[in-house]
Amino acid sequence: MINDNIKIVEILSKSKTIAVVGASDDWKRPSFYVMKYLQKQGYRIVPINPRLKGQSILGETVYETISAIPFSIDIVDVFRPPQECPDIARQAIASGASCLWMQIGIESDEAAAIAQAEGLTVIMNKCPKIEHSRLSGLLGNGGFVSGLLSARRQTVPTPPIPLRNGGYVESNNPETLAVHAGTRPDGATGARITPLYQTASFTFDDADHAASLYDLQEPGNVYGRLSNPTTAALEQKIASLEGALGACCVASGHAAQLVALYPLMAPGRKIIASKQLYGGSITQFTQTFKSFGWEAELVDINDLDAVRVAVLKPEVALLFAESLANPDGTITDIEALSVLAREMKIPLAIDNTMATSVMCKPGIFGADIILYSTTKFMSGHGNALGGAVVDMGSFDWMSGRHSSLLTDPNPSYHGIRFAETFGKLSYITFCHASVLRDLGPTMAPMNAFLTLMGLETLPLRMRQHNENAAKVAIFLREHQAVTKVSWAGFPESPDYNRAQKYLTYGAGSVFTFVLKDGYKAGQKLVENCNLLSHLANIGDTRSLIIHPASTTHRQLTDEQREQAGIGAGTIRLSIGIENSDDIIADLAGALGVVVSGST
């Protein structure tokens, strides 16, 4: 059994003829459109189906068995149940084929052992159409990770192999992925930077091509509300950095939450979410989603007993938390939550906006879906709104606690079940093909372009943000005007141990501190900063400062504010990548004014 991307490229590159066992003549069946796709890519397909023996599918004669084929074949692609696979493996060996390929949902260790013993390459639970389109970059409907990096032009189909390793390298290093993943030189022009495809729509080759795209039988771009090549490159980069299967980029972080939840929720279903969330998310979950009939219950995410009781309720469809919470810096015990979610057969979704995949990989600790406001550190320059839904591919949608839009027949796509048709790729495919299509919170291509540029320096920036934040936090702790600094890098912080377990590079660069002299002192401080920008954002290259009590939390009563962890003198900082001496000097100057009482 192989899963190695380069090996699959090799097989698909050197093969010319593919026998398809269980070939259907019905255009709505996967075997039909897989054959059609492969034929279009230049492969000769050979349909095998005893019922249709002697007839013709897609211009090719149908044979009764593999043994009846009078010429040599390279791959045997199997659309039959696992119990038939050992016999098919024996026939594949006798035919001289070099690869036994079992489709999505089909696995047989016995067949694999038989074929491997005779030197055949075995692939299980995968589709050659999806693998070919994923690895050659043809997949327009979603940014699925190819796992392949290359500085060579995109050529389709992938060239035969005189190139070393087919022209690809594989790497899991964030610095390399940030620069290369998803962004090969453009096939048509050689442009080294992924072009900004500033177009609303994409032309069809002919009527048949248009129909296949609309039926999701062929990968490609139809209309900018569903997909765009610049955005697909970004999706691949984000998913690669996460070690995930794929991603769906959308208009904002809030849009990401809507898109991520939509496939799983229904009226009467409930989200269990952390109390320690970004305030805007709390409003979205508890107030706005209510009108969809979606319920939300907030729990103290550090109280695992309370979380356990909450997720036991049968209507619960999802557990949601932030890895590193905005603004109070709480660090979530992702691994413990994932155990609870798995027991209840519900997915665990983690908003990783504040940490990014460079500092924290929630998937390693069992998160199934990871969300981003890419507006923050991911794009990193405060110039592009965006969001991302990332699928680790770890949740088995077919055996979840509830049926869902992924498992139910979809009337808008001829009754297909996404989980059945697209296997592991069903969630992200559904996010594009159904949620973006019908709800429309699509990322603007320009924002995808800017975010792609920003991401190239993400690892460098995150290191610098964290180094600077540590120095600023230490400076503030020593200052006479400050009573408390909420930064998890201090050993006395209640989050210190979790910071050591879950975060690399530091304890984050967004944190709060409290001024002894309260509300007026807070306002005076922000007004006297000259280098730190006074605004409501985080994760910019620039250092940012805000006094929540007079801005983001001003509508709340004193009591509500205190509950949200925001006192009259609380200040939120997002430390940038300037020289730390200059950031500290600016804060020291402004704090001097606060202490002296002058203006």
Asked if the peptide bond before residue 81 counts as cis, ω within 30 degrees of 0, the response is no
User: Alpha-carbon dihedral of residues 473, 477, 481, 482, nearest 10 degrees?
Assistant: 80
Q: Which DSSP state fits 331?
A: B
Distance CA 276, CA 298 (A): 9
Cβ proximity to ligand PLP, 266 vs 439, nearer residue: 439
SS3 readout for 88-140: HHHHHHHHCCCEEEECCCCCCHHHHHHHHHCCCEEECCCCHHHHHHHHCCCCC
How would you label 461-482 residue by residue, b for 16+ Cβ within 10 Å and e otherwise? bbbbbbbbbbebbebbeebebb
At its nearest, how many Å lie between ligand PLP and the CB of residue 273?
12
- The residue within the footprint of ligand PLP, chosen from 95, 281, 407, 464 (CB under 6 A), is 281
Cβ proximity to ligand PLP, 146 vs 276, nearer residue: 276
Cβ proximity to ligand PLP, 258 vs 341, nearer residue: 258
Distance CA 296, CA 57 (A): 51
At its nearest, how many Å lie between ligand PLP and the CB of residue 426?
25
What's at 176, amino acid-wise?
T
Partner residues linked to 12 by β-bridges: none
Distance CA 598, CA 589 (A): 12
Report how far Cα 599 is from the mean position of its chain's Cα atoms: 48
At its nearest, how many Å lie between ligand PLP and the CB of residue 325?
7
Cβ proximity to ligand PLP, 380 vs 387, nearer residue: 387
Which region among 1-9, 135-143, 180-188, 274-282 touches ligand PLP (by CB under 6 A)?
274-282
- Positive or negative, the CA dihedral 63, 69, 73, 76 is positive
Place of tokens 């995410």: 301
Cβ proximity to ligand PLP, 216 vs 324, nearer residue: 324
Distance CA 373, CA 256 (A): 7
Using an 8 Å Cβ cutoff, are 72 and 17 in contact?
yes
Cβ proximity to ligand PLP, 320 vs 418, nearer residue: 320
Does residue 548 touch ligand PLP according to CB under 6 A?
no
Does residue 442 touch ligand PLP according to CB under 6 A?
no
CB-count exposure of residue 441 (10 Å: 0-12, 13-18, 19+): middle
At its nearest, how many Å lie between ligand PLP and the CB of residue 351?
5
Using an 8 Å Cβ cutoff, are 263 and 438 in contact?
no
Cβ proximity to ligand PLP, 33 vs 278, nearer residue: 278
Q: Nearest residue by C-beta to ligand PLP?
A: 253
Cβ proximity to ligand PLP, 31 vs 375, nearer residue: 375
At its nearest, how many Å lie between ligand PLP and the CB of residue 373?
3
At its nearest, how many Å lie between ligand PLP and the CB of residue 208?
40
Using an 8 Å Cβ cutoff, are 199 and 224 in contact?
yes
Cβ proximity to ligand PLP, 222 vs 385, nearer residue: 385
At its nearest, how many Å lie between ligand PLP and the CB of residue 83?
48
Cβ proximity to ligand PLP, 229 vs 508, nearer residue: 508
The strand pair at 17-21 and 44-48 is best described as parallel
Does residue 278 touch ligand PLP according to CB under 6 A?
yes
- The residue within the footprint of ligand PLP, chosen from 354, 367, 532, 594 (CB under 6 A), is 354
Does residue 553 touch ligand PLP according to CB under 6 A?
no
The angle formed by the CA atoms of residues 417, 420 and 421, to the nearest 5 degrees, is: 80
Distance CA 364, CA 259 (A): 23
Cβ proximity to ligand PLP, 6 vs 355, nearer residue: 355
At its nearest, how many Å lie between ligand PLP and the CB of residue 434?
21
Q: Mask of contacts with ligand PLP, 322-341, x by CB under 6 A?
A: x---x---------------
Q: Mask of contacts with ligand PLP, 225-264, x by CB under 6 A?
A: ---------------------------xxx----------
Using an 8 Å Cβ cutoff, are 508 and 469 in contact?
yes
Token pair recorded at residue 318: 């999802």
Instruction: Strand 570-574: give its sheet, edge to edge.
Output: 482-486, 510-515, 570-574, 544-546, 533-534
User: Alpha-carbon dihedral of residues 313, 314, 315, 317, nearest 10 degrees?
Assistant: 90
At its nearest, how many Å lie between ligand PLP and the CB of residue 379?
10
Number of residues that bind ligand PLP (CB under 6 A): 15
How would you label 541-580 residue by residue, b for 16+ Cβ within 10 Å and e otherwise? bbbbbbbbbeebbeebeeeebeebbbbbbbbbbbbbbbeb
Report how far Cα 433 is from the mean position of its chain's Cα atoms: 16
At its nearest, how many Å lie between ligand PLP and the CB of residue 391?
18
At its nearest, how many Å lie between ligand PLP and the CB of residue 328?
11
Does residue 357 touch ligand PLP according to CB under 6 A?
no
Cβ proximity to ligand PLP, 47 vs 380, nearer residue: 380
At its nearest, how many Å lie between ligand PLP and the CB of residue 171?
29
Using an 8 Å Cβ cutoff, are 43 and 15 in contact?
yes
Q: Mask of contacts with ligand PLP, 306-325, x by CB under 6 A?
A: ----------------x---
Does residue 430 touch ligand PLP according to CB under 6 A?
no
Cβ proximity to ligand PLP, 351 vs 368, nearer residue: 351
User: In angstroms, how far is the first alpha carbon of the chain from the final one?
Assistant: 72
At its nearest, how many Å lie between ligand PLP and the CB of residue 550?
18
Q: Mask of contacts with ligand PLP, 359-398, x by CB under 6 A?
A: --------------x-x---------x-x-----------
At its nearest, how many Å lie between ligand PLP and the CB of residue 585?
28
At its nearest, how many Å lie between ligand PLP and the CB of residue 231?
15
Cβ proximity to ligand PLP, 100 vs 260, nearer residue: 260
Cβ proximity to ligand PLP, 126 vs 572, nearer residue: 572
Which residues would be at the binding site for ligand PLP (CB under 6 A)? 252-254, 278, 280-281, 322, 326, 351, 353-354, 373, 375, 385, 387
